[in-house]
Chains A and B, each alone.
Chain A
Amino acid sequence: AQKVTQAQTEISVVEKEDVTLDCVYETRDTTYYLFWYKQPPSGELVFLIRRNSFDEQNEISGRYSWNFQKSTSSFNFTITASQVVDSAVYFCALSEREGGSEKLVFGKGMKLTVNP
């Protein structure tokens, strides 16, 4: 079975600090997709990024950046100059193909608290 591990369960930082959220995955598929989702207190998960297994380029979007390293099966997420609005639970996910269908397998999530 495929698996997503987010070792950190909770992190607390002060505003403007940089913070990195770790994600390690296991899969036997050669083609797969990795995702990050944000879950604010309101409850709905918000899509942040999708990365396919053939694209190891790092990506930057504003204060967010992602580091995908196939050699270590990691897909880490860094928030630069964190803000209070970044407080949320962040989930890493892996697309899994099973029985002809695809589904997302989520990690347990990491709760980020950014204090003013």
Chain B
Amino acid sequence: EAGVAQSPRYKIIEKRQSVAFWCNPISGHATLYWYQQILGQGPKLLIQFQNNGVVDDSQLPKDRFSAERLKGVDSTLKIQPAKLEDSAVYLCASSLNRVDTGELFFGEGSRLTVL
């Protein structure tokens, strides 16, 4: 079974530029998550989708971050304009069911460096 696919693995941009990350979850997984992991910290949830609807985006900085999951399958996370503090690994995860009853499957992440 194919795992969660993410691209690109690495991205270096200058502040105020824009960047987009792509995620393809495991086939059949209804729930998709984007997490931000700053160096030395645990992952922090940015947004959670159930199929193509947003369940939780309370910690998404909406003035610069946006995400969509068209057709309820793959998803894109965009940052525009980027700030230095956005340097982090962006992890995509998917699950079959609700988080507390099902395990999350994570991708390898997209590492963003903002200069």
A: residues with CB less than 8 A from B are 4, 32-33, 35, 37, 42-47, 50, 52, 91, 93, 95, 97-99, 101-104, 106-109
Interface SS of chain A: strand
B: residues with CB less than 8 A from A are 3-4, 33, 40-45, 48, 55-56, 58, 89, 91, 93, 98-101, 103-109, 111
Question: Which of B48, B99, B104, B106 neighbours the largest number of chain A CB atoms within 10 Å of its CB?
Answer: B99
Q: Which of the residues A45, A47, A52, A101 comes within 8 Å of B43, measured between beta carbons?
A: A45
Interface SS of chain B: loop
Closest to B99 in A: A102
Q: Which of the residues A37, A42, A101, A107 comes within 8 Å of B55, measured between beta carbons?
A: A101
Verify A91–B42 contact, CB threshold 8 A: yes
Q: Contacts of B99 on A, CB cut-off 8 Å?
A: 33, 95, 102-104
